[in-house]
């Protein structure tokens, strides 16, 4: 199969032009067609000679995804997409509309190796990393379907972004590049469950991106129960790395806290969260758990309000509404539902229960 041109850097495209004995200014024409005009077919690159458009089409693909499922919330228009990749694997992306803010939640891996207990993606395990081109294509595909212009991108979809930084960072830099998507670096947020080496690498970027930490618990013991990665990267060391990130970048970190009834949502948990966040330049987002797993469900509205009230007394806290909860917009849920549908469709139709079939 032909490679995706979205995987190619400026330098690689320049070498291709040299090999094809094309003038250097063709590079800017190609980049403009890819990222400013966002044309999905090479024949639309009207600034290029017809013969060169055909040459590009012979050597590269522009779009490689197939849209296999879409869910749109009737409540808030949150839209979730399930894409099939050229190798048959599938990933999810989400558009979230909040007033003038339009956020794309994108994936960085097919599946995830971290096995966070409340996350549907964690049940998939890890299948592979996405390429930079596949990360970028999610945004291009959603741009052609969005009801309003993109304002923000969050790496909070399927996968752990800091375990795929070799592909995530080139994609993120393309999102902010003047000859790319032209978004401000503060419009890009990279989320992590707590990969310390990745946080340190983010802190050392010349143009650092915003960091969100999926905290979800306030002690080593409680965090280990729901996030096994904590055993490798203890909470105390993790918080040290976040402190280093904020000191180097001068950026505010976001603590994401998924509220789960009976696990991390008590009044004592709220007070402990205030103490934990106190030394940091940080904001706190709480999110009522969005999962169909009966072991992990959101607290009552009364308990959520009490949690908010306690934290708000000392720190500014934002409750992120469960956008798209009724369409299973949390990571991995549409993927899992689609697999179930496919499995059911593949089963042979037989009125007799399998247990009643006689052995030959």
Q: How far apart are CA 90 and CA 139, in angstroms?
A: 16
Say if strands 90-98 and 109-111 run parallel, antiparallel, or are unpaired: unpaired
Of the residues 19, 92, 112, 267, only one is catalytic, namely 92
Helix axes 196-203, 235-249, angle to 10 degrees: 10
Residue with tokens 């330098």, as numbered in its chain:
11
User: How much of the chain is in helix, strand and coil states, percent to nearest 5?
Assistant: 40, 20, 40
Single out the residue of 37, 36, 31, 44 nearest to residue 5, CA to CA.
31
SS3 277: helix
Torsion angle, alpha carbons of 39, 40, 41, 43, to 10:
-20
Residue 331 is among the residues annotated as catalytic for this protein: yes
Q: Specify whether the CB–CB gap between 111 and 127 falls below 8 A.
A: yes
Distance of CA 128 to the CA centre of its chain: 15
Residue 289 is among the residues annotated as catalytic for this protein: no
Residues noted as catalytic? 92, 331
């Amino acid at each position: 199969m032909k490679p995706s041109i979205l995987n190619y850097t400026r330098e690689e495209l320049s070498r291709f032009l040299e090999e094809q004995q094309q003038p250097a200014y063709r590079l800017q024409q190609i980049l403009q067609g890819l990222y400013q005009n966002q044309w999905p077919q090479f024949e639309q690159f009207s600034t290029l000679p017809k013969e060169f458009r055909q040459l590009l089409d012979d050597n590269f693909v522009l779009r490689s995804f197939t849209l296999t499922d879409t869910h749109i919330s009737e409540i808030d228009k949150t839209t979730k997409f399930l894409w099939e990749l050229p190798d048959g694997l599938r990933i999810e992306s989400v558009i979230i509309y909040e007033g003038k803010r339009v956020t794309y939640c994108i994936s960085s891996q097919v599946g995830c190796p971290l096995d966070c207990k409340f996350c549907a993606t964690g049940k998939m395990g890890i299948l592979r990393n996405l390429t930079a081109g596949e990360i970028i294509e999610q945004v291009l595909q959603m741009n052609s379907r969005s009801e309003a212009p993109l304002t923000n991108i969050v790496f909070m979809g399927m996968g752990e972004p800091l375990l795929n930084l070799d592909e995530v960072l080139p994609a993120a830099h393309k999102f902010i590049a003047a000859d790319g998507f032209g978004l401000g670096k503060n419009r890009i947020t990279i989320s992590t469950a707590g990969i310390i080496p990745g946080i340190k690498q983010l802190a050392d970027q010349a143009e650092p991106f915003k960091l969100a930490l999926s905290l979800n618990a306030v002690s080593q013991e409680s965090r280990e129960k729901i996030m096994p990665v904590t055993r490798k990267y203890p909470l105390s060391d993790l918080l040290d790395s976040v402190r280093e990130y904020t000191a180097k970048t001068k950026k505010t970190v976001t603590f994401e806290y998924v509220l789960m009834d009976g696990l991390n949502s008590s009044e004592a948990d709220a007070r402990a969260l205030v103490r934990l966040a106190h030394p940091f330049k940080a904001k706190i987002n709480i999110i009522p758990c969005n999962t169909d797993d009966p072991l992990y469900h959101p607290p009552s509205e009364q308990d959520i309000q009490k949690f908010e009230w306690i934290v708000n007394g000392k720190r500014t806290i934002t409750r992120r509404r469960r956008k798209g909860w009724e369409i299973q917009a949390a990571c991995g849920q549409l993927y899992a539902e689609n697999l179930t549908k496919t499995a059911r469709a593949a089963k042979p139709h037989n009125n007799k229960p399998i247990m009643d079939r006689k052995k030959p």
